[in-house]
Structure formats: structure tokens, C-alpha cells
Amino acid sequence: MLLQDVRPANLADQVGRVCVLDNAVLDRVRHEALTVPNDWVAEYGEFQSGGWWTLSLFNATGDPSDVAIGDCEAVATSLLERMPATRALLDSLGLRYMWVRLARLAPNSFLWEHRDYGELSEREHYRLHIPLQTNRSAGLVLGGAKVYLAVGHLWRLVPTNAHGACNLLGPDRIHLILDCYGNDGFDKLAGHAELLDGDAIMLPSASGTELDCHVDDAVKLARLGYHDTAERSLLRLFYRYAMPEGRIYDLLVEMHTRLGQPDAAGAWQRRKALMLGTTDENGDQR
Amino acid sequence: MTLASITGLVAASRPKIFTLLEQATEKITISPYVTHVFVRGSLASGRADRMSDLDFVAGVADEHFRDFHEALDTFMTTEFNAILPGWRDTIVNTMGGIGYVYLVENDGKLHQLDFYLVPASRADDVPAHTTRACLLYAKEYDPGCDATLRLEIGRYIAQTGQRPRTSGDLLVELLVLLQMVYKRVRRGQQFSAYGEWVMARETVRDLVRTSLVPTSPNWGWYRLEEELAVTPIGRACGRSLHALLLLQPPTSGADLDAILERCLHIAEMAAPATVAEMADAVASYRAYLDLS
């Protein structure tokens, strides 16, 4: 029996291209992104596999290593001052920034299924991506679809929908991530998003039997002593199969239950609630 | 300059393969059922350079050998950034187990990691077959006297070795062999390059044969032209395969790129679904080898 395959009525409402960017400008920005930054910061450890590194270009303090986003009147960071082409591009877009980050996702690295913005105010927030370097194994997964964010466009993502990001094989994926407040500039620039042929593929559904087999394999790995590997092998399935929201975390609960580890199973249940934004970091309902 | 600072410089300049060796040893030995770890090849004999591969032998408790073997691809993908499934190594010495070759990403570069898995009860025989350095030897491991289990594992290993290769297995084999040929050429190892170049083209042949004439009673080159000549796709594959045989091994990145393109073109004619399935992995392979 196939599991319910929940697909969005209109994927482009969740993620899509909003406008073309000048290739020569992007070449300069990419050159800066690959040569200027160092001391990348690993933040949001609960949400990622390791391998997701960021630095801020606009934020609350001007310190590029402050990368945990929040509502603020953004100022340029000392890193952005050393990246003039990037500064010029960001200034040219007419956006009101809350936070802008340079994000590097290493090969075999993941942002697990989650929702963003739960900790922010009620103001309107929007997220835009500018891919600088990518590969076909990298993408955003949401609503059972894997979307490849090609270089050359500005992309919009609605991050309050459950989503995950992957770079399965590499090399590094590098994006500028722009969190903005609503303004006329945003409406003019990014009011409409579209997906072209080849941008998105629908992931196949997994049967219950198939998922059981994967849990069996993970249990075997854990029994061999490779507990972290077992967990990650299951979490990676989110990027392979279309699954109902949160199902991936249920597989972790199943694995630990079968291993007779109720504490670990409970921890994954709590983590599921945190990742999907139904509770805050203290475990309180939102 | 002090001796300490020289030591620091040496450490900073050491080939990355040693970092990979440390990481691999640490990760593999997390399991209490890994009883032995040997490193073989150039690393064991002090001839390692920046292009060296990592040759690993792991002894695994007999009762867990099968589970470990079945989990190996998942383990290598998840823990070592393997970009392709393992290629069942047909070149390695027989040491009582099963060998695989993986292409793994480490620090932005592609490395070859050879992983030989041997039942713990046979691990003490490994030194007789190869130059090796022992990194782990679990003295407390008792190989046991369960002759039935040993026989069963022996059969399992033999069956695995005889399992027919799929078009996917063969495409992985081709990609592994081509990067080996290129490495040999860059090192000036012309004889080895020649040997592996012959193998790479035979792998393309086997991929064509497996995909287009799977029920043929013949093998190798025997009667392949006649069998392929029955259909337009077969004839086109035959022509392209013949043209491939006339080429010299790659001596530059551009050569490798052109040869890879030709091989993939043949593979796509013979097994389009397999090539499509591995398109992302091939794209990453090209990127790491700095091909277009």
C-alpha cells in the first residue's frame, strides 16, 4: 500500500524563480564568496547534519559571525564591507533586509525537515535565495518535490512551509540567503514566482514495506554500533521519497523503539515538534 | 626556525590521505564487532603521495559479517561521502573476504577508498597476502569454533563474488577505472595505465552486452558484433565501441573528458535508465575531476 503522497497544489507558491540576475555580476559575487570569507559558523546545530556553514552580510550587530537570525534593523557586517560586488548587488535590489547570510552547504550535508520564522515577530518576512554555486544533487525538498535552484536567478522560498535542504554529492553549494521585510521593492521584484521545466522533480512515494526495510537496515547499523550513521541513514530518506510531513521523524522513533531505547525515541518525538514549529526550544506549544 | 615549527610545517603539508585514514579508522572502529583494521598498499609501505588511494582491510566478527556487508554502501555514503555505490573490486588479491572500491569526497577532493571486508576468523591470514600495517588487532576476539557459521560465510562470500553485474554495477566500475587510468598516466605508470585502460573498455563492452544481449550464452568479445548487429541500437553501440577501442588512454583532463563522454554516450544507448539514474553522481564526478 502506498503512503499518502501529499503534494502541493501549486509548488511555485512555495518556491520559484522571481527574476533573472546578471551573469557578469554573479561571477563577481561568486568570486568574492569563494575567496573573501573565512571562519564560517555552524549554527542551528539541531536543524542540520553538520556541514551547513554561514556568515552574515547584513545583521543586527555588524559582526559576520552573528548568524542566528532575528528581527532587527539590519546593518552591513564587516565581511560585506570586504565584498564590494556583493554589496552593490544587495543594494541594487531595493529590499529592506532583516538578515542576509552567505550559506555554504558541504557535500553529504543536510538541513533536516523544518519550518523557519517561528521565533520571529508577526511582521511580514520573506526569504530569497541567490544561488552562486550549486550542483544537480543539491536542492530544496518540500511537499514531496525536490527543487533545484539554478544559478542565474533570484529565487523565493516560503520557509514557513516544512522544507529541507540537501547537498547529496557535492561539490559545495553556496547561496546568498536574504531575509527581508515586506516593502514596495519586494513586491516589484519578487511578487510573482514561477518554476520552469526541470526545476522540480516529484520524489517517488515509498510503500510502508519499503520504509520498513529502511528501518530494518538502520536497526542493523545501530546494532553494529553505528548509531549516528543509522539515524542519518533514515533522515536522508526525506530527500529520496515523498513523505507526509514529519513522517521522517516517526521513522527515527520507530528505530529507537525497536532498539528498546525509549528515551531516544521520546527525544526524537520532541525534536519533531521543535523542527516543525509546533513547540519552541523549551518544549512549550507555540 | 625550531624543530617544533618544522614539525608543524610537515604536519600542515602532509597528504590529505592521512587525514582520511585517521577519520576512516576512527569511524570504522566505532563498532565493537570490527576486530581488525589493516591498511595496505602505498600507505603501508611508505610510498604514499598526494594521489594515493586508501586501502583498508577490516575484520568483522563472523556472526555480524553479513549484516556489515549489507550495510556497507549505506555506511560509506552516509559517513564517507561516497558519491557512487561500491564497485566490487575484481583486481584486489583474494584475502578471504570481499573488496569494494569507493570514490569518496574529502575536503573538496575525490579520493579512492578501497575497502576489503574479511570475516574475523580469516583476518589473521591477511598478512600472508599483502603488504600491510596493522591499525587494530582485537586480541580479546575469540574466532570461535562454529564451523557451520564459517562455512555459511564462505558460501556467502563466494556467491557475492559470482553475482552477475548489473548495468549499474558496470557504470560504477567504468567511472572508477577511468579515474584510475588518469591517475596512472599522471604518475607516469604507463603499464598500469594500459592495463586499466584495457579493463575500462572491456567494462563498456560488458555494459553493452549485459544491457542489449542479456540472454546471450557468449561472453567477452566472442560473437558480440553479430549479436549487436540485429538492431539499429545494437549496431550503433557496436560502431561506437569499435571507435573506443582505437583510442589511446587519456593524458590530460580534456582527453579524460572526451573519453568519458564517448563512454557515457555508449552507455546511454545501451542502458538509458541506468545513466539517467546516475546523472547527478556523474555530474559530481566530473566536477571533482575538474571536467566540463
At B210, list the grid cell: 549485459
Predicted TM-score (pTM) of this structure: 0.92
Residues A223 and B67: beta-carbon distance below 8 Å: yes
- Residues in A closer than 8 angstroms to B20, CB to CB, are none
Tens-digit pLDDT profile for residues B241-274 = 999 999 998 988 899 999 999 999 999 999 999 9
Question: How many angstroms away from the CA of B30 is the closest CA of chain A?
Answer: 6
Q: Is the pLDDT of residue A31 over 70?
A: yes
Tens-digit pLDDT profile for residues A101-152 = 999 999 999 999 999 998 898 899 999 999 999 999 999 999 999 999 999 9
Q: Is the pLDDT of residue A32 over 50?
A: yes
- Residues in A closer than 8 angstroms to B68, CB to CB, are 224
B291–chain A Cβ distance below 8 A for any pair? no
- Residues in B closer than 8 angstroms to A223, CB to CB, are 67
Are the beta carbons of A169 and B78 separated by less than 8 Å?
no
At B27, list the grid cell: 569511524
Residues B283 and A137: beta-carbon distance below 8 Å: yes
B74–chain A Cβ distance below 8 A for any pair? yes
Are the beta carbons of A135 and B287 separated by less than 8 Å?
yes
- Assign B191 a pLDDT band (cuts: 50, 70, 90): very high
* Interface test with chain B among A40, A108, A219, by most B beta carbons within 10 Å: A108
Q: Is the pLDDT of residue B141 over 90?
A: no
Q: What is the pLDDT of residue A2?
A: 39
Are the beta carbons of B30 and A107 separated by less than 8 Å?
no
Q: What is the pLDDT of residue B131?
A: 75
Of A108, A170, A221, the CB nearest to B75: A221
B284–chain A Cβ distance below 8 A for any pair? yes
User: Taking each helix axis from N to C terminus, what angle separates A247-258 and A208-223, rounded to the nearest 10 degrees?
Assistant: 50
- Residues in B closer than 8 angstroms to A226, CB to CB, are 30-31, 71, 75, 79
Are the beta carbons of B287 and A171 separated by less than 8 Å?
yes
Q: Which of residues 126-165 of B touch A (CB under 8 A)?
A: none
Q: Is the pLDDT of residue B192 over 70?
A: yes
- Per residue, the 3-state secondary structure of chain A, as one string, reads CECCCCCCCCHHHCEEEEEECCHHHHHHHHHHHHHCCCCCECCCHHHECCCEEEEEEEECCCCCCCCCCCCCCCEECHHHHCCHHHHHHHHHCCCEEEEEEEEEECCCEEEEEECCCCCCCCCCEEEEEEEEECCCCEEEEECCEEECCCCCEEEEECCCCCEEEEECCCCCEEEEEEEEECCHHHHHHHCCCECCCCCEEECCECEHHHHHHHHHHHHHHHHCCCHHHHHHHHHHHHHCCECCCCHHHHHHHHHHHHCCCHHHHHHHHHHHHHHCCCECCCCCEC
Q: What is the pLDDT of residue B135?
A: 80
Q: What is the pLDDT of residue A278?
A: 82
Q: Is the pLDDT of residue B128 over 90?
A: no
Mean pLDDT of chain B: 91
- Per residue, the 3-state secondary structure of chain B, as one string, reads CCHHHHHHHHHHHCCHHHHHHHHHHHHHCCCCCEEEEEEEHHHHHCCCCCCCCEEEEEEECHHHHHHHHHHHHHHHHHHHCECCCCEECCCCCCCCCEEEEEEEEECCEEEEEEEEEEEHHHHCCHHHCCCEEEEEECCCCCCCCCHHHHHHHHHHHHHHHHCCCCHHHHHHHHHHHHHHHHHHHHHCCHHHHHHHHHHHHHHHHHHHHHHHCCCCCCCCCCCHHHHHCCCHHHHHHHHHHHHHHCCCCCCCHHHHHHHHHHHHHHHHHHCHHHHHHCHHHHHHHHHHCCCC
Of B30, B83, B105, the CB nearest to A226: B30
Are the beta carbons of A170 and B83 separated by less than 8 Å?
yes
At A214, list the grid cell: 529502511
Question: How many angstroms away from the CA of B265 is the closest CA of chain A?
Answer: 19
- Residues in A closer than 8 angstroms to B279, CB to CB, are 136
B166–chain A Cβ distance below 8 A for any pair? no
Tens-digit pLDDT profile for residues A222-276 = 999 999 999 999 999 999 999 999 999 999 999 999 999 999 999 999 999 999 9
Round to whole Å and give the CA distance between B192 and B195.
Answer: 5
Mean pLDDT of the B85-91 span: 92
Residues A76 and A57: beta-carbon distance below 8 Å: yes
Q: What is the pLDDT of residue A277?
A: 87
Q: Is the pLDDT of residue A7 over 50?
A: no
Q: What is the pLDDT of residue B52?
A: 83
Are the beta carbons of A108 and B81 separated by less than 8 Å?
yes
Of B70, B75, B279, the CB nearest to A229: B75
At B152, list the grid cell: 555459511
- Residues in B closer than 8 angstroms to A229, CB to CB, are 74-75, 78-79
B268–chain A Cβ distance below 8 A for any pair? no
- Residues in A closer than 8 angstroms to B281, CB to CB, are 137, 169
Nearest residue of B to residue A231, measured between CA atoms: B78
Task: State how beta strands B54-60 and B109-119 pair.
Answer: parallel
Vertex A76 angle, CA A73 and A80, to 5° = 155
Tens-digit pLDDT profile for residues A209-221 = 999 999 999 999 9
Mean pLDDT of the A26-47 span: 96
B32–chain A Cβ distance below 8 A for any pair? yes
Q: Is the pLDDT of residue A6 over 50?
A: no
Nearest residue of B to residue A139, measured between CA atoms: B280
Q: What is the pLDDT of residue B147?
A: 86
Round to whole Å and give the CA distance between B123 and B119.
Answer: 6
B71–chain A Cβ distance below 8 A for any pair? yes
* Chain A residue set in contact with B, beta carbons under 8 Å: 107-108, 135-137, 168-172, 217, 220-221, 223-226, 229, 232-233, 236
Mean pLDDT of the B209-213 span: 97
Q: How many CB pairs under 8 A join A and B?
A: 74
Nearest residue of A to residue B82, measured between CA atoms: A169
Are the beta carbons of B105 and A236 separated by less than 8 Å?
no
At B180, list the grid cell: 584510475
Residues A105 and A98: beta-carbon distance below 8 Å: no
Q: What is the pLDDT of residue B49?
A: 77
Q: Report ipTM for this prediction.
A: 0.89
